[in-house]
Structure 1
């Protein structure tokens, strides 16, 4: 079978197309014939050496943690999926060197393989994982909950999504809207505003035009209940001005710098909560909740992808995985996917 591997960290040129033996699923494992591999910033950062001192956790790594395809075989003890089932999967390759999705067949722990609802395509399935599950966690960390998402779970709440045209921002808009929130997003151009509103945002505020806090406050006079934050450093002062009492900021990235200068007194007065999150290290029960709720949102048709849904897709064949990584690293708008099968 064909696979993309790297044996040292570095720029996209370290990615190589090879032929390897098909992996065999062990107990509790599932082998998936990959149709579409999703590429996320975490994939190129890991390949680039984001780990401690750029260390390789394994001698050879297959990249990309998200994907979708068809179950090819199952190991002993697996009962929730069977050969022939259409599935989406997440955290492929995490603590499992050969499990990345940039290959024709991948073996994963069974709990990371999820049935894909009828009528939902592989593009959508491969776009869940990191973006949708991160967004789910960000939307469920506020004081007073909710801890789960479903229609009505965020009714009466106002959610501010920073960077609504990104993959996580896009999923956060869709999930928040599905759960009944009023959704405001900040973007940097009219084109990104169009994409965020296609995803379901009620309001898009271009922060390059100035007066961002005042415009958000005019849309949410009582303040914002929850911020899904991609740039906590640059946006710290803005968040302090727009958060409601007992508001929360869910931080999932460090765009614009890896430090925050917080205005402490306003945060104290408003009982503000900052929650930092990383999909790889959240509790297993939070992962399981995200899987269930994201799948329910997929079933409801709440998580479409593509230009009309506000998430343009840029496609590459497996042999051009290096170009796919370079596109994501270069800030491609929307979602980059790799056609594997």
Structure 2
């Protein structure tokens, strides 16, 4: 079988195609035939490391956390999944040398593999892990909000999604809209605004050509209940200006710049900042997210493609390095790797 591996951190050039023996699942594991692999910023950041040439925890690592395909073999003790099931993966590469989805087959703990509804394409399945689970967590951290998502769960609430044209932003818009929220999103231009609108955002605010705080307050005079935040340092002042009393700001990414907060302003409003990282979220929250994501798929709430606000960019397995480079360069949309024809 074919696999993409790297032996040290660095540029996309460290990725290489190798041939490996077909792995066998052990107890509690399943083998998945990967059809489509998804590439996220976390994948290239793990590959790049803190510096080129940095030593890895394993001699070789297979990249990419997200993917979709079919169960090919089942280890002892696995009851939730059967051979032939359509599935998607979550945090496939985390802590594993050979778990990543940039290969023909991967063996994973069964708890990292979830059923993919028949109504969903494998393309959609390959976009669910990091983006949709991150978005689900962001939408369920508010002190006064729901812990699970379903139609009506966010009714009467205003959600601000920073960067609505990104993969997580796209998923957050779709899930928040499905759950009944009024969704506002900020974007940097008309093209991204059109994508966020296609995803289902009710209101688009271009922060480059308007006073974003004033525009958002005009749309939500009482302030927003929840912010799904991709750039906390840059947006700290904006968030302070638009958040309502006991509102929450869910931070899932950073540009690396220090976050400076006006503590008194946050205290006065009883604002909650919730930082999140998918890898240490806990299995119970991952399972809850997967269940709600499956329900949203059944309702037709999660979609991919330019008409849904998430353009797809495709690469064959042997061009995984180019796929990583595209994500690293900030391509708008979702980068997918066609592992199988």
Q: TM exceeds 0.5?
A: yes
Q: Which residue of 1 aligns with 2:103?
A: 103
1:229 maps to: 229
- Paired with 1:93 and 1:274, the residues of 2 have a C-alpha distance of 28
Map of 2:134 onto structure 1: 134
What is the rounded CA distance, in whole Å, between the counterparts of 2:53 and 2:97 in structure 1?
Answer: 18
- Write the mapping of 1:56-95 to structure 2, written as runs, cut at 5 A: 56-95=56-95
2:338 corresponds in structure 1 to 339
Unaligned runs of 5+ in 1: none
1:118-153 residue CA offsets vs partner (Å, 9 max, x unmatched): 121000000000000000000010112211111100
The answer on 1:309 being equivalent to 2:308 is: yes
Alpha-carbon contact 1:88-1:113 (below 8 Å) kept: yes
Aligned to 2:234, the other structure's residue is in SS state coil
SS in 1 for 2:98: helix
Q: How does 1:206-217 map to 2 (within 5 A)?
A: 206-217=206-217
Equivalent-residue separation in structure 1 for 2:312 and 2:301 (angstroms): 17
The 8 Å contact of residues 11 and 52 in structure 2, kept in 1 or not, is answered as no
> 2: CA distance between counterparts of 1:28 and 1:188?
45
CA distance in structure 2 between the aligned counterparts of 1:177 and 1:223, rounded to whole angstroms: 18
CA distance in 2, matches of 1:5, 1:251: 31
Conserved 8 A contact 2:10-2:52: no
Q: Compute the displacement of 1:55 (Å).
A: 3.7
- 5 Å matches for 1:165-314? 165-255=165-255, 257-314=256-313
The Cα of 1:288 is off from its aligned counterpart by 1.3
1:52-85 CA deviation, whole Å, 9 max, x = no partner? Answer: 9944121100000100001100001111111111
Aligned counterparts of 2:178 and 2:51: Cα–Cα separation in 1:
35
What is the distance in 2 between the residues matched to 1:144 and 1:53? 46
**CA deviation after TM superposition for structure 1 residue 295, in Å:** 1.2
* Structure 2 length-normalised TM: 0.98
- Secondary structure, in 3 states, of the residue corresponding to 1:208? coil
**1: distance between equivalents of 2:127 and 2:283?**
21
SS in 2 for 1:246: strand
The answer for the alignment partner of 1:28 in structure 2 is: 28
Cα distance in 2 for residues equivalent to 1:62 and 1:287: 22
Number of paired residues? 340
After superposition, give the CA deviation of every residue in 1:162-215 in whole Å (9 maximum; x if it has no partner).
000000000000000000000000000101000001000000100001311000
Query: Runs ≥4 in structure 1, deviation > 3 angstroms?
Result: 50-55
Q: Secondary structure at the match of 2:140?
A: coil
CA contact (8 A) 2:29 2:109 kept: yes
Deviates more, 1:313-322 or 1:295-304: 295-304
Secondary structure of 1:18's partner? strand
Distance 1:123 1:254 in 2: 27
8 Å CA contact 1:49, 1:55 repeated in 2:
no
Query: Residues of 2 paired with 1:138 and 1:174: CA distance?
Result: 13
| Structure 2 unpaired stretches of 5+ | none
CA distance in 1, matches of 2:51, 2:94: 13
TM-score (ref. length: structure 1): 0.98
Aligned pair in 2 of structure 1 residues 202, 174: CA closer, same or farther (>3 Å)? same
Deviation at 1:158, TM superposition (A): 0.2
How many angstroms does 1:283 deviate by?
2.2
